[in-house]
Structure 1
């Protein structure tokens, strides 16, 4: 559809309707006006001639009056008869001479008696001449008026069509932009059906954009999840492949009784040790999968943060003292949070263990909590430690280790921080791992209990 198509249609239809209305009005009143003006003329002629006849005394006076009346209005044809039927006066164009009473004048004109003069004479006017009014001026005025009316109708039709079609054209242009997902400003507020239609369309467009945005986010998230899963399974297969191959070598050596492998109890213990490590890694992998799939659902409870941390620290003090580290806790009594206790313990266990393993000898592991708005921020800082800015974002990737050799030797799977991340996301708890002037800080924000 062309841009001006609907405007042209509305404008033409309105003009046609207006023209028909003006024409019907002119046709309806023109005949009535003709009769009205003819009647006025007849009454005017009768009154004028009657006043003149009342002043006459005889035939000569009447004839003289008729002559003078004709001189004033030569277009009007009439004649005068006496009671005997003799014509005492007729206008030059009447053509009545020699016509008997009751006969029609030539040309098919009918005559009518307008006035009885002194009861002895009758004034006859030719009917067609009575109606032969000079309508030229009247017609000219009527045409001017009709033209003015038609011009007003045309202007009104243009304004009406423009006002009717402009919002429709704007709405059509907006919908065209909407189909291309372009930004579209809302139409001016209207209280009619067009306003309702525009509001509904813009509402649907806003909902459509929101839906598309959510779908795009969902597609992006799915792609990231697929990429993460691809990386996760690739890394998992690589992590499992090495110890399984090593175990296979040990078992084959023992079966063949080659060299040192004849000491079966020693190498069987090594195999059991590697299998335990792989069993632990598989359990962690399954835990991450369950967290991703939403199969692990938090069950929040009211918990005292100080008591939770104090109960866990003895499990790590021995290891930290062996590494020449010092653990310091500064958490006030009465800080009550609302969260899942088992999931929180799992998170804190991995964070504290990670701090112990990465704090250099002579460093401190500081644990404290401070209120932040409607939450408590629980912080774990391992001093004299620092992580490279390029490495920091990768620490939550599955199986990522800063020092591959040392990490494997210490039995670290590289899944600890991944489990922490997935668990905190499942609990809807904010967290961050960042460098500070004093060391590496890991903090989580626990919701306050009401």
Structure 2
């Protein structure tokens, strides 16, 4: 069964209350009107029979006076009763057996009675001369009551609509809120409904923000879980391959199969692979420590030019072997605030990546320039271009563009991943992008 809306309830309650009020008003005023008309009828009868009443006062021959009055007013019908109730005079056409309309609202007799003195009572018939027409009065009363009811119905409709419209709007909005739909700000009201609407909307706004934060947190957790899943899958794959290769070498040496009899040669190969795996494990532990926040940065004042110059000495041998030139253009006096170890680790991986991926005989440029309240340190690999779809993935752990060459060059695939984790932990903005001259890596170091 469908429940009635609040508008119907308020409308019906208001109509019932208004109808009761109109009925009570009509009942109260009807008795007053009837009393007024009875008094008016008495006044008319008294004025009509005034001569008879005045002449009867103290006069013994009441019959003669009544007969003379009737001769002058033959249309009037009345009779006069004595003290014992016996009729002493009656007009010829009067029927004393019929009910009479009385001055006194008596249930037994309805005659108009006027005391004449000396024990005589005048009884007057209610004929057309004295009767008042109630028809017009009743018609006017009904019209007035109908108009009052019509006004009450219209007023009840307007009242119910004005009362329930904001409540219905609020109910519709709360339904949308429950379905997590967008709800526009509610109109301003100064009453209790306005306060309720503002409280509901404020709760809805806070709930929406909380849900949005929870969704973002869920997405972040999923991304972290997916990253960890990929990381451990890639790490297990990277570690499994050299371990299997080392096992093959050791098994061949133990069995003295073919060239594997040259134990010193293959032991050195095993040691070389173990060293590479040890370095990879150290890089993995460093990423884990950065994720767990176990490495706490200690910012210090650093000279950018000196930091880069001191670091380049470690890469001159490798760059010269490939016929590369490293050109620096960093002005003196550029001081930044950063953790020296973390910045050195990130910058070392960036330069190593540049040397490894720049073609032989090409050039690597390193410079810095002021950008707002920071110094932008740039490393450019000349003559290199990477597909734009691949650039963001270069920071993923163990990702390599050319896996064969990377393994041959003993790259772990964790260098740029460590760079990203380190710079994010230091709150340093960075990017890797293609330029007309090559691939550019930049980082924004805060000015001292």
Class of the TM-score when normalised by the shorter of the 2 chains: 0.7 to 0.9
SS, match of residue 108 in structure 1: coil
Q: Give the aligned partner of residue 277 of structure 1.
A: 276
Counterpart-to-counterpart distance in 2, 1:371 and 1:65: 131
Greater mean deviation of Cα atoms: 154-163 or 166-175: 166-175
CA displacement 1:343-370 (0-9 Å, x = unmatched): 2222111111111211223332222222
Aligned residue pair count: 435
The reply to whether residue 229 of structure 1 matches residue 228 of structure 2 is: yes
Q: 1:51 and 1:300, CA in 2 relative to 1: closer, same or farther beyond 3 A?
A: farther
SS, match of residue 235 in structure 1: helix
Q: 1:149 and 1:109, CA in 2 relative to 1: closer, same or farther beyond 3 A?
A: closer
The reply to whether residue 177 of structure 1 matches residue 166 of structure 2 is: no
CA displacement 1:325-351 (0-9 Å, x = unmatched): 222222334444344332222211111
Contact residue 306 and residue 331 of structure 1 kept, 8 A: yes
Q: 1:204 and 1:83, CA in 2 relative to 1: closer, same or farther beyond 3 A?
A: closer
Q: Give the aligned partner of residue 255 of structure 1.
A: 254
Greater mean deviation of Cα atoms: 295-304 or 176-185: 295-304
CA displacement 1:364-397 (0-9 Å, x = unmatched): 2222222333433221112122112333232122
CA displacement 1:253-290 (0-9 Å, x = unmatched): 33334444444343333322221211110111122223
1:2-401 superposed matches below 5 A: 5-47=5-47, 49-50=49-50, 71=75, 78-79=78-79, 87=88, 92-93=93-94, 95=96, 108-109=109-110, 112-113=113-114, 124=122, 133-401=132-400
Counterpart-to-counterpart distance in 1, 2:107 and 2:439: 130
Contact residue 82 and residue 121 of structure 2 kept, 8 A: no
Q: What TM-score, normalized to structure 2?
A: 0.83
In the TM superposition, residue 444 of structure 1 has moved relative to its aligned partner by 1.6
In the TM superposition, residue 163 of structure 1 has moved relative to its aligned partner by 1.8
SS, match of residue 337 in structure 1: strand
Counterpart-to-counterpart distance in 2, 1:139 and 1:181: 61
In the TM superposition, residue 414 of structure 1 has moved relative to its aligned partner by 0.7
Q: Which runs of no fewer than 5 residues in structure 1 stay unpaired?
A: 98-104
CA displacement 1:135-160 (0-9 Å, x = unmatched): 32222211111111111111111111
State the Cα RMSD in Å.
3.7
Q: What TM-score, normalized to structure 1?
A: 0.82
Contact residue 240 and residue 278 of structure 1 kept, 8 A: yes
Greater mean deviation of Cα atoms: 20-29 or 165-174: 165-174
Q: Give the aligned partner of residue 102 of structure 1.
A: none
Q: Give the aligned partner of residue 408 of structure 1.
A: 407
CA displacement 1:219-250 (0-9 Å, x = unmatched): 33333333322222222111111211122222
Counterpart-to-counterpart distance in 1, 2:314 and 2:52: 143
CA displacement 1:1-28 (0-9 Å, x = unmatched): 9596222222111111111111112122
